[in-house]
Amino acid sequence: MFCYLPYRKSNYLKNIKILILTEDWKTALAYKIPSRYSYRGETKYYEIEGYLEMYEKIIGKSIKSKSIDDLIDIALSEWESRNSS
């Protein structure tokens, strides 16, 4: 499943299309970012906890759950904020 989620690359924050890995469509297991945003163009799956920690640092909101619903809520909230301004 793909979601447009906030992501920090160097000194800028951007919403990018992130691939979310799940087995049951309820829990996020891992994520993968596009190669143009990754270190040296490498792309691999990372544990979802790493994204949730980064999200908390850049946005200031804590997400304790690995729920797909929570990630969709983030994506919808970001979409709404982009389209309301």
Beta strands at 12-22 and 46-47: parallel, antiparallel or unpaired: unpaired
Domains of the chain: total: 1
pLDDT, tens digit (0-9, with 9 covering 90-100), for 26-63: 999 999 999 888 877 788 999 999 999 999 998 899 98
Predicted pLDDT of residue 85: 62
Q: What is the pTM of this model?
A: 0.85
Predicted pLDDT of residue 39: 77
Give residue 30's domain range.
Answer: 2-84
**Residue with the larger pLDDT of the pair 27 and 13:** 27
CB 25 within 8 A of CB 72: no
Q: Indicate left, alpha or beta for 60 from its phi (over 0: left) and psi (-120 to 50: alpha).
A: left
Average pLDDT across the chain, whole number: 90
